[in-house]
Amino acid sequence: MRKPLAEREGATAPAVGQLLAAALSRHDSRPALSVGGEVYTYRDLLRRTIDYQAFALQAGLTATDRVLFVAEPGLDFYACLVAGTLGAYTISVATPAPLAAASANLARHLQSVMVIGDVPSDLPSAARPALSPAQIKASGHRDLAVVDCGHAYLSVTSGTMGQPVSALVDAVALGHFVSWAASEFALTAADRWFEAADPGSDLALTNALLALSSGACLTTPLGRQRLRTATLAALNGTTVMRIVPAAGDLMLAEASRRSANLADLRLLAFGGDQLPAALPGRVLEATRSNARTVNTYGMTESAGFLLYHWFDAHHVAAGAPGATVPLGQPIPGVTARIEPWPGNSESETEKMAGVGELTIESAAVALEICTAAGKNPVSRKATAGAVAEFRTGDLVRRGSDGFTFCGRIGREVKIRGTRVNLAQLDRLVSDALGQSTCVVRHEDMLVALVESEAPISALGLAKSIGATARSSVLPQRVITVSQLPRTRTGKVSLAGCQEIVRRVDCGE
């Protein structure tokens, strides 16, 4: 019989399940969720979580059995997530749209024994049986159980490189992170945390568990409403928001069409991608906000973020054009260093001096990581809470403000003997044109996809950039699109961009 975590001898730091259980009981009458206009209290969430725990017990599920919940967010969505995080089963959550597009990848990675929710017809039979949330009846149980299962949830993402990644998140490491982040962000039960990302993404899962563990109210819009970030955030009296930079761009676009006022916003946190220095200040100005700003760095393979950097949004906006906000310093319990990267040779340009691969040592690295490139899961840690080393694949440089992101190793290419960082080229072209851009390699040339209604030539692009880049590393071809393909978290999909170039080249 599994031993409740609360009875474990020698437990010194709470796992995330203990923090959630305490918040569910302590804040029973306060709002826990505001989803599409429907408000649920912590008492509502507690009772529905107990229903899911009782169902798991009756169904014979154990902490290691993998359950996939597929539906738009709501009381059942988060109750199923919390029950899994408390140890009833190994939980993964997804919203229907991304699941339909990647059902085969999810089924292969998760090896689910059960699916709950809106199951598309193309989901492979290996992921059955399936049932609806309505089939999980009120249990009549009154007690909440917390099980020492060692892990919190299984996160799945397509990744910016188009390679699906799943990561089994360490419950103890996540508990450490949640305790620290709640203190660092000064979270209280009075906060309203607005979730702009897809609720099934790794960033959104961390945000949700952090908010709920702190007794805050998690506000989540439905479906396409997530694209109307600024308006919805204003209507819901948001005090805290952590978004990807792409969502910041959407907020600016929305604020230009509507009078968005985020007067209650006290904390605006960014994460998940390279953060242009000018963006945070423009967001605060457009939404009439005086919020504090912080940049965070994390990855699917970690419990929470690993580096952070508080900054003055208006100060960094006055820096050099094209500058980015540093990733910052490691959070407590994380050690970060730069490992030499083979791409740095004596023949490289001075821009690559001091650049290497970011390597993390931390208990926050996931217990198990599986990518599409590997046939079997890769175990990063033998036990929960153990320290492990992980090479991130991110190129960074160390400065006075900590680490600065310089690109992904997978986005370093050689064109006619010259090494080009496509991430840096994206930013250079975007700044020159004032339009979102993604540069990809196609055969032996660079192709720029630009969000623009007007045609742009390669010569016109070169003139816009001027002398800030050598002609040998500029895109030789430009394709304009009404909208760049994006992942469910708002990042530009590199795989989608490659497919557009292929289709144009084939005349499709």
Helix/strand/coil (H/E/C) assignment for every residue in 232-274: HHHHCCCCEEEECHHHHHHHHHHHHHCCCCCCCCCEEEECCCC
Residues 6+ apart with CB under 8 A from 6: 18, 146
User: Is 7 contained in some domain?
Assistant: no
Query: Does the CA dihedral 420-421-425-428 come out positive or negative?
Result: negative
- Look at residue 69 and tell me if it is in a domain: yes
Rounded to a whole number of angstroms, the CA Rg of the chain reads 23
Whether 341 and 373 map to the same domain: the answer is yes
Which of 292, 289, 203 shows the shortest CA–CA distance to 252? 289
Q: Note whether 291 and 251 are within 8 A (CB).
A: no
For residues 367 and 424, state if they share a domain: no
Residues 426, 394, single domain; the answer is no
Per-residue model confidence as pLDDT tens digits over 341-388: 765 444 344 455 678 889 999 999 999 887 655 555 567 788 888 999
Angle between the N-to-C axes of helices 202-213 and 75-85, in degrees from 0 to 180, rounded to the nearest 10:
80
If one compares 214 and 484, the residue with the highest pLDDT of the two is 214
Helix ranges (DSSP H) in 237-394: 245-257, 278-286, 313-317
Query: 295 and 319 in contact (C-beta within 8 Å)?
Result: no
Q: Establish if 5 belongs to a structural domain.
A: no
In a domain, 258, yes or no: yes
Same domain, 476 and 361: no
The answer to whether residues 393 and 423 belong to one domain is no
Residues 336 and 230 grouped into a single domain = yes
Q: What total of structural domains would you count in the chain?
A: 2
Summarised one tens digit per residue, pLDDT across range 44-101 is 999 999 999 999 999 999 999 999 898 889 999 999 999 999 999 999 998 876 544 4
Q: Does any domain span residue 9?
A: no
Q: Which of 381, 405, 429 is the last residue of a domain?
A: 405
What are 396-428's pLDDT values in tens digits?
A: 999 999 999 887 776 777 776 676 778 778 877
CATH code at position 39: 3.40.50.12780
322 and 457 in a single domain? The answer is no
Rounded to whole angstroms, how far apart are CA atoms 278 and 388?
36
Mean confidence (pLDDT) of the chain:
83
> 53 and 105 share a domain?
yes
Given 405, 440, 457, the domain boundary residue is 405
Query: Looking at the structure, do residues 375 and 438 belong to the same domain, yes or no?
Result: no
Q: Is residue 199, in this structure, part of any structural domain at all?
A: yes
The answer to whether residues 309 and 295 touch, using CB atoms and an 8 Å cutoff, is yes
Does residue 23 form part of some domain? yes
Residue 6 in domain? no
- For residues 68 and 115, membership in a common domain is answered with yes
Domain termination site, one of 348, 375, 405: 405
**Residue 217 sits in which domain range?**
14-405
Check whether residue 210 and residue 341 sit in a common domain.
Answer: yes
On whether both 163 and 54 belong to a single domain, the answer is: yes
> What is the pTM for the complete model shown?
0.80
| Category of 124 on φ-ψ map: left (φ > 0), alpha (ψ -120 to 50) or beta | beta
* CATH number of the domain that residue 478 is part of: 3.30.300.30
